[in-house]
Amino acid sequence: MLRVERQAKIVQLLQTRGSLQVEELAKELGVSPMTIRRDLGTLEEHNKVERYHGGAVAKQEESYARKKTSHQGEKERIARRCFAFIKEGDTVFLDAGTTTYEIARLLQSTPDIMVVTNDLEIGQLLKESRVRLFLCGGEVQKSTGSVFDQYARQMLENFKFDIGFFGAASINKNFEVTTPTIEKMWLKRQVPRQCSESFLAVDASKFEKQSMTKINHLGDYTGVITGRRFSEEEKKRLDAMGAVIYGLTEESR
């Protein structure tokens, strides 16, 4: 088992059982207690677990309700910028998240649009709208109202999208997009490749943060729509990786 897979398994076990001792984790995963202590140290740095003497408990992902009220004004402006890229007749993928929810709000009265999403809140919003709606099936992560498991991936693997909008938990200093859970990694990495155009829609608070699992980097999207302002040195690095940044006005960056 790779280190990143073992650490994801540790988080999963802690979320299921509440708390575990180092010795219990070492026995279950077939590694030494020292290896578990190093893993827990890494996970604590990434804000995924809380350690106590001889063991650890999992930290829960931020709830949907709390995310929804955070940086609300910027998210609405990002959504309006995203909406400008959508054309009548498009098949649109909306990733789970509160910024993509704001895009969905703008789509409610748009005719001849198909929306595919793994977000129950977006599904609830659009069920009485004019758009044609597809929801991904699978196990629901109740704290966020989203679906990321193997059943959602299997459904989505045969879709092709005109345009997709994606969120992110964190973007590190190397402009790599990261996520707290390995389950989210697979969907968030694969579906942008199935879009003719893919956009990462993220508020400025997501930058210079690190989660456990890498998804991709900013150059892997058609564009990144954000309110963050970049330094000249950062712009050079973004250019080198092929990242296209759309600010919240008509001018990029």
The pTM of this model reads 0.76
pLDDT tens, residue by residue, 167-194: 998 899 999 998 877 778 889 999 999 9
- What's the average model confidence in pLDDT over 40-57? 82
**Cα–Cα–Cα angle for 22, 184, 41, rounded to 5 degrees:** 25
User: What is the predicted pLDDT for the residue at 250?
Assistant: 54
pLDDT at 203 over 90: yes
- What's the average model confidence in pLDDT over 63-83? 78
The single residue listed with the structure tokens 């707290």 is 180
pLDDT tens, residue by residue, 98-145: 999 999 999 998 989 999 999 999 999 999 999 999 999 998 887 788
Decide which of 68 and 133 is more confident: 133
Band of residue 253 on the pLDDT scale cut at 50, 70, 90: very low
User: What is the predicted pLDDT for the residue at 48?
Assistant: 78
Half-sphere exposure of 124 (CA within 13 A, CB side): 6
Q: Tell me how far apart the alpha carbons of residues 144 and 142 are, in angstroms, rounded to a whole number.
A: 5
Q: Answer yes or no: same fold for 3-58 and 65-246.
A: no
Amino acid at 25: L
**100 within 8 A of 74, measured Cβ to Cβ:** no
- What's the average model confidence in pLDDT over 223-250? 94
DSSP the chain: --HHHHHHHHHHHHHHHSEEEHHHHHHHHTS-HHHHHHHHHHHHHTTSEEEETTEEEEPPPPPHHHHHHTTHHHHHHHHHHHHTT--TT-EEEE-SSHHHHHHHHHHTT-SS-EEEESBHHHHHHHTTSSSEEEE--S-EETTTTEE-SHHHHHHHTT--EEEEEE--SEE-TT-EEEES-HHHHHHHHHGGGGEEEEEEE--GGGBT---SEEEEEGGGSSEEE-S----HHHHHHHHHTT--EE-SSSS--
Question: What is the residue-averaged pLDDT of the chain?
Answer: 89
pLDDT at 65 over 80: no
Q: Please give the CATH number for the structural domain made up of 3-58.
A: 1.10.10.10
Classify domain 65-246 at the CATH topology level.
Rossmann fold (3.40.50)
- Enumerate long-range contacts of 14-20, CB under 8 Å, 24 or more apart: 14/49, 14/56, 14/57, 14/58, 15/58, 15/60, 18/57, 18/58, 19/52, 19/55, 19/56, 19/57, 20/55, 20/56
User: What is the predicted pLDDT for the residue at 184?
Assistant: 84
Q: Where are the domains of the chain?
A: 3-58, 65-246
Dihedral pair phi/psi, residue 163, rounded to 5°: -155, 145
